[in-house]
């Protein structure tokens, strides 16, 4: 039979290692460390099309992440998507005429909201609304447009006589 | 007629066993208040159930991570998305492979040992001896083992996932040349704490309850002969593996 002290040490090492592993999963593998927004405030923006934007997608200003998408809703009056964003309290000097666009990181990467500051001296407050927005680029629409331009060109160049 | 009789008998037996198992587990849980006073019993069993299972879990986690890294890289490189290797390895480990493979190994290593130990205690009349001394064997023998299993399973699954991610990192970044920054940042962007990690932990707790529950019940319910104990051990591994795989499907369908 193993000595009681040795046994307790082993169990302690095991439990500590297990808890450490859980912590590693939460903070290094997962996004718990970056998910929280300290003393945030909410701003809202309406978009025609949000593409693949999700709750907790990043909100960036000049490429720096300043907040996260808190909720995505739908406005039945305007048929537009309402995206409310939680912005970190440290960045409380966003001008009211800021514009918001939805970008994609990389060709097929995650979508995020990019803010471009305007020149106003007034700053957005809690529950403030961004007026200028630009929708997400939907890849299918782009590809579709590309194909139609490809198909239309040969049809215009060649007469209809050469059919295959 | 004989076929119907056989089917009916089998169904009745099954229902009876299920009822006995439920009553038994109720007795285990309701008698567990005494473990607060004698916590040492649980620590002792965490050693037997958790610490001794550690080696096989760590080695398997390492190899599963290595294989995931190699296979994932081959497929992702075809689409030019090798940078997402970290995300692929982490998500498959945290969501599925971590809890499930850990539970299967746990059933094979710890579950079978629990059943054999309890079954032999019964076969050698140790449990009956305890009752003679007015010690309830369910609270003294079964409950510490049951709770040690529930405590150990999530810790083992977390260690499995972490070792797997690290060895995936070793293969991906060290051997195949995936960018180290992309590996970790894609992982952190894609793995959500609540949706992925917490659900994985919930899965592993459920598997812990199921596997240890089956193991202690089969041991306690074993026919007290050497053949009976061997059959009970066999049943523990088969039933808990099947239960883990079936429950995993249901939980995945509900969670993700």
Nearest-angstrom CA–CA distance, B130 and B220 = 14
Q: Are strands A41-47 and A128-130 parallel, antiparallel or unpaired?
A: parallel
C-alpha angle B46-B49-B51 in degrees, rounded to nearest 5: 70
pLDDT at A158 over 70: no
At A148 the pLDDT is 87
ipTM of the complex model = 0.86
- Total count of residues recorded for chain A: 164
In this complex, the residue of A7, A21, A25 whose CB is nearest that of residue B44 is A7
pLDDT at A161 over 60: no
Q: Give A135's DSSP letter.
A: P
At B199 the pLDDT is 93
CB contact under 8 A, B47 and A7: yes
At A56 the pLDDT is 78
Rounded mean pLDDT of chain A? 83
pLDDT tens readout for residues B77-134: 888 888 889 999 999 999 999 999 999 999 999 999 999 999 999 999 999 999 999 9
Mean pLDDT of B186-191: 84
Mean pLDDT of B201-217: 95
pLDDT tens readout for residues A88-97: 888 888 888 8
Nearest-angstrom CA–CA distance, A19 and B77 = 35
Nearest-angstrom CA–CA distance, A101 and A112 = 8
Q: Which residues of A touch B47 (CB under 8 A)?
A: 2, 7, 10-11, 14
In chain A, which residue's Cα lies nearest the Cα of B195? A30
Q: What are phi and psi of A136, to 5 degrees?
A: -70, 150
Helix runs in chain A, H state only: 4-24, 32-35, 139-157
Q: How many CB atoms lie within 10 A of CB A143?
A: 10
Point out which residues pair with A71 in neighbouring strands.
A84
In chain A, which residue's Cα lies nearest the Cα of B183? A29
Which chain B residues in 156-185 lie under 8 Å from chain A, judged by CB atoms? 156, 158-159, 161-162, 165, 184
Range of lowest pLDDT (A141-150, B203-212, B217-226): A141-150
Point out which residues pair with B166 in neighbouring strands.
none
CB contact under 8 A, A25 and B158: yes
Predicted TM-score (pTM) of the model is 0.79
Distance of CA B255 to the CA centre of its chain: 19
pLDDT at B171 over 50: yes
pLDDT tens readout for residues B3-35: 999 999 999 999 999 999 999 999 999 988 888
- In this prediction, residue A1 has a pLDDT band, given cuts at 50, 70 and 90, of low
Within 8 A by CB and 6+ apart from B66, the residues are B167, B168, B170, B171
Distance of CA A103 to the CA centre of its chain: 8
In this complex, the residue of B51, B190, B192 whose CB is nearest that of residue A10 is B51
Rounded mean pLDDT of chain B? 92
Nearest-angstrom CA–CA distance, A52 and B239 = 42
Point out which residues pair with A82 in neighbouring strands.
A46, A73
| Best residue of A18, A19, A107, A112 to probe chain B, by most B CBs closer than 10 Å | A18
State the smallest CA–CA distance between residue B148 and chain A in angstroms: 11
- Distances from the Cα of B215 to the Cα of B45, B58, B83, B124, angstroms: 14, 22, 43, 18
User: Is A16 in CB contact (< 8 Å) with chain B?
Assistant: no
**In this prediction, what percent of chain A has a pLDDT beyond 70?**
86
At A163 the pLDDT is 47
Q: Which residues of A touch B181 (CB under 8 A)?
A: none
SS (H, E, C) chain B: CHHHHHHHHHHHHHHHHHHHHHHHHHHHHHHHHHHHCCCHHHHHHHHHHCHHHHHHHHHHHHHHHHHHHHHHHHHHHHCCCHHHHHHHHHHHHHHHHHHHHHHHHHHHHHHHHHHHHHHHHHHCCHHHHHHHCCCCHHHHHHHHHHHHHHHHHHHHHHHHHHHHHHHHHHHHHHHCCCCHHHHHHHHHHHCCHHHHHHHHHHHHHHHHHHHHHHHHHHHHHCCCCHHHHHHHHHHHHHHHHHHHHHHHHHHHHHHC
pLDDT tens readout for residues A23-66: 988 888 877 766 566 678 889 999 888 888 888 788 888 888 88
């Amino acid at each position: 039979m193993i000595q009681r002290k040795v046994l307790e040490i082993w169990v302690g090492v095991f439990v500590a290692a297990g808890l450490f592993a859980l912590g590693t999963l939460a903070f290094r593998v997962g996004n718990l460390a970056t998910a929280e927004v300290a003393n945030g405030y909410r701003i809202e923006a309406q978009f025609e099309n949000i593409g693949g934007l999700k709750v907790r997608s990043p909100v960036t200003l000049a490429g720096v992440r300043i907040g996260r998408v808190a909720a995505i809703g739908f406005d039945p009056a305007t048929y537009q998507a309402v995206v409310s964003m939680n912005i970190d309290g440290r960045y409380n000097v966003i001008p009211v005429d800021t514009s918001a666009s939805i970008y994609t990181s990389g060709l097929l990467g995650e979508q995020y909201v990019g803010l471009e500051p305007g020149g106003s001296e007034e700053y957005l407050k809690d529950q403030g609304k961004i007026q200028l927005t630009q929708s997400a680029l939907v890849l299918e629409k782009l590809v579709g447009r590309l194909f139609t331009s490809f198909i239309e060109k040969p049809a215009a160049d060649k007469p209809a006589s050469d059919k295959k | 007629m004989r076929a119907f009789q056989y089917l009916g008998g089998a169904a009745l037996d099954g229902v009876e066993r299920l009822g006995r198992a439920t009553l038994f587990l109720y007795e285990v849980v309701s008698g567990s208040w005494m473990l607060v006073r004698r916590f040492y019993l649980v620590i002792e069993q965490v050693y037997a159930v958790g610490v001794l299972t550690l080696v096989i879990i760590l080695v398997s986690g390492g190899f599963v991570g290595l294989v995931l890294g190699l296979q994932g890289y081959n497929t992702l490189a075809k689409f030019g998305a090798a940078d997402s290797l970290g995300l692929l390895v982490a998500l498959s480990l945290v969501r599925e492979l971590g809890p499930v493979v850990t539970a299967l190994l746990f059933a094979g290593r710890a579950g079978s040992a629990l059943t054999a130990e309890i079954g032999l205690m019964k076969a050698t009349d140790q449990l009956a001896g305890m009752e003679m001394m007015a010690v309830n064997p369910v609270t003294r023998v079964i409950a510490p083992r049951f709770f040690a299993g529930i405590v150990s399973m999530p810790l083992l699954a977390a260690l499995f996932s972490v070792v797997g991610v690290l060895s995936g990192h070793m293969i991906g970044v060290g051997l195949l040349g995936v960018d180290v920054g992309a590996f970790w940042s894609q992982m952190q962007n894609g793995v959500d704490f609540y949706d992925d990690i917490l659900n994985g932990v919930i899965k592993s707790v459920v598997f812990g309850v199921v596997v240890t529950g089956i193991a202690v019940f089969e041991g306690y319910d074993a026919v007290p002969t050497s053949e009976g104990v061997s059959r009970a051990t066999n049943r523990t591994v088969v039933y808990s593996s099947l239960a883990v795989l079936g429950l995993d499907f249901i939980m995945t369908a509900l969670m993700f």
